[in-house]
Chains A and B, each alone.
Chain A
Amino acid sequence: MRSLSCRRMGRMIPLYVAGDLVGGWEREAAEHFATCEGCRGLAEEFAESGSLLAEGWARQEFDAEFYDRIRSAVLAEITPDRRLSRPPLFGRRWIYAASFGLALTVCGFVFQQVKRLQPEAPQGPGSISQVNGQLTLGPETKSPSSSPALPRESVRGIVGQEARSRERGATLERTIHSGGSASSLSGSASTSDITRIEIQTADPNIKIIWLADRASRGSKAINRNEYKEANDRN
């Protein structure tokens, strides 16, 4: 019990000799020193080395010239700094800030102008619209459940076949019928004298517009019948 207490005291002595122990610890240490000669001797040694340290490193008196040299060296360094470089530095900072602000404003203005001049974006690649008897297909982002009558694959097929049909001189109605989903097209086309079909290709700048009236469809049908009869005769 006693040796443990002495060991603990050994750790506390360096603090005790300089008054760094507080409260109960200081009282406990004092009580221990009253009974333990070994710890008391150790504390005396610590106190002695402490006072030697203070004596050995006692504050040196440096002369006024010593301090003058420090002050003059420092002031010589900082005074031109303050007089010359500080105001232009602040001036330059303001110039940088103002230039940056101006550049930002100009960029914003130019961006706004460019945005205004751009044509309105098309509904999206591969869309078909039908106004006043026109077929409409929404943008690609639409879910399949909410997509219009023509699925996207059939539209691509329509666009491709339509391009081929130009060469062959075939009608669009036939092309759409071959797509197998032209019920909405034929239904709506019959409600108007002129049928207008717009097909938006993948290129937003190219839109295929097909105008056909009922009379021409009728004449084409007649022509087809005549052609069929001639073939039968042959």
Chain B
Amino acid sequence: MVAEMAHIFLTDASEMPAAREEQPADYFSALVGSARAGDSLAFEQIMLATEQRVVSIAWRMLGNRDDARDAAQEVYLRVFKYLARFRAGEDFRGWLYRITINVCHDFARKRRLAGSSRVDEIDFAREVAPAEIAGSDDPEAVALHMQQLALVRRALQLLPAKERAALVLRDLEGFSTEEVARALGSRPVTVRSQVSSARVKIRTYCEKLSRKRGTSR
């Protein structure tokens, strides 16, 4: 049973990445070389190849569609600005995702300073029940499931920034621990620790809140 659950969890995470973005590393090195030389078409190609992933990370980090779009724009502007600093032979995607995470941290910080609550701004209006649950005859089960999804979404937004970044990349984007470490500029051991801590917090948060709601009814 545990093995089955773990398998479901892993399958959900690993099926996330968009297939068209998984280009070979030398594909990007050639494009980066051209973009550096002033080829704007090459830069557009880089955007086309990576935008889905960048937007996805930004959306999961910020929980808001508009913020995700603004963050993605900022990411590409920074990439363009610092393209000359990118060393040949380095992992371009790792570099790009590191910039993405940094931009998301900056956006979250600005939002916090502006005094707006990040949890309240999550795009819950777009919540749609999964097809198998939506087609269910039991409306109570559907409502319960929707409530659980809402809880888990809030829980992610309440995590500390570093743990959230590690969890988003590892569990939601399906990166390996080593890839996450490269993207975050830390060690795999640190990533494992952050991800483990984040999972514990999410489980505890969901458990506490569901208990509280259960007793209040």
The answer to whether A53 and B171 have CB atoms under 8 Å apart is: yes
Instruction: Collect the chain A residues with CB atoms within 8 Å of residue B170's CB.
Output: 18
The answer to whether A77 and B77 have CB atoms under 8 Å apart is: yes
The answer to whether B55 and A74 have CB atoms under 8 Å apart is: no
**Assembled-state Cα–Cα distance A79/B43 (Å):** 10
- Extra contacts, 7 of them, besides A17-B199, A20-B177, A78-B40 (Cβ < 8 A), are A11-B196, A15-B196, A40-B2, A47-B9, A53-B152, A55-B130, A67-B51
The tally of residues in B whose CB lies under 8 Å from a CB in A reads: 55
The answer to whether A66 and B56 have CB atoms under 8 Å apart is: no
For residue A163, CB closer than 8 A to chain B, the reply is no
For residue A50, CB closer than 8 A to chain B, the reply is yes
CB-CB under 8 A for A79 and B40, given A49-B152, A49-B199, A53-B202: yes
93-125 of chain A: CB within 8 A of chain B: none
**Assembled-state Cα–Cα distance A69/B203 (Å):** 37
Query: What does DSSP make chain B's interface, helix, strand, loop or mixed?
Result: helix
The answer to whether B149 and A56 have CB atoms under 8 Å apart is: yes
Binding site for B on A (CB under 8 A): 11, 14-20, 33, 40, 43-60, 62, 66-67, 69-71, 73-75, 77-79, 82, 86
The answer to whether A74 and B156 have CB atoms under 8 Å apart is: no
The answer to whether B1 and A40 have CB atoms under 8 Å apart is: yes
A79 smallest CB distance to B (angstroms): 6
Q: CB-nearest residue of chain B relative to A71?
A: B47
User: Which of B5, B76, B200 makes the CB contact (< 8 A) with A74?
Assistant: B76
The answer to whether B43 and A54 have CB atoms under 8 Å apart is: no
Give 20 A-B contacts (CB < 8 Å), ordered by A residue: A11-B196, A15-B195, A40-B1, A47-B6, A50-B171, A52-B148, A53-B171, A54-B16, A54-B172, A55-B149, A55-B152, A58-B16, A62-B55, A67-B52, A71-B48, A71-B51, A73-B73, A74-B47, A75-B43, A82-B40
What 7 pairs across the A-B complex have the smallest Cβ distances?
A: A47-B5, A54-B12, A14-B199, A56-B149, A50-B9, A14-B196, A49-B203
Q: CB-nearest residue of chain B relative to A60?
A: B59
For residue B98, CB closer than 8 A to chain A, the reply is no
Instruction: Collect the chain A residues with CB atoms within 8 Å of residue B73's CB.
Output: 70, 73-74
The answer to whether A70 and B76 have CB atoms under 8 Å apart is: yes
The answer to whether A46 and B199 have CB atoms under 8 Å apart is: yes
Q: Return the CB mask of B157-172 against A: 1 if under 8 Å, else 0.
A: 0000000000110111
The answer to whether B153 and A57 have CB atoms under 8 Å apart is: yes
